[in-house]
Amino acid sequence: MYERLNAYRIMWVLVFFDLPTETKKDRKIYARFRKDIMADGFSMFQFSIYLRHCPSRENAEVHIKRVKAILPPKGNVGIMCITDKQFGMMEIFRGKELAENPETVQQLELF
């Protein structure tokens, strides 16, 4: 059980994107991409930066493949995977004040 909760095994998948929004069609594609990644469990961290907690590297790969399958035809999308340990070392500021990091999701895995 300890192996599953190891901070080096738990992963965070971050999706960064900069998509065109000049035309009505571009905005529709942007909204669809955003809606689709949110349907896959990603949450907004900042504008155009979404993240998802994954209990393992294997689970992270599943969600990375899903994002790759819905990539829009134009724009830039980056996908990065980091460990829970690395995520926990991030410093987040609101103005000049240090803010608390988002809590690690405690999720139960059922097989």
Residues contacting 103, CB < 8 A, separation 6+: none
CA within 13 Å, CB half, 105: 15
Q: Which of 44-48, 84-88, 90-94, 102-106 has the lowest mean pLDDT?
A: 102-106
| pLDDT at position 37 | 98
Residue 99 has pLDDT above 60, yes or no: yes
- How high does pLDDT run on average in the chain? 89
| pLDDT at position 1 | 46
Enumerate domains of the chain plus CATH numbers: 2-99 (3.30.70.240)
| pLDDT at position 111 | 42
| pLDDT at position 94 | 87
CA–centroid distance for 93 within its chain: 19
Separation between Cα atoms, residue 37 and residue 52, nearest integer Å: 9
Task: Give residue 106's pLDDT band: very low, low, confident or very high (50, 70, 90).
Answer: low
Strand partners, 18: 76
Residue-wise pLDDT for 31-72, tens only, equals: 999 999 999 999 999 999 999 999 999 999 999 999 999 999
| pLDDT at position 7 | 77
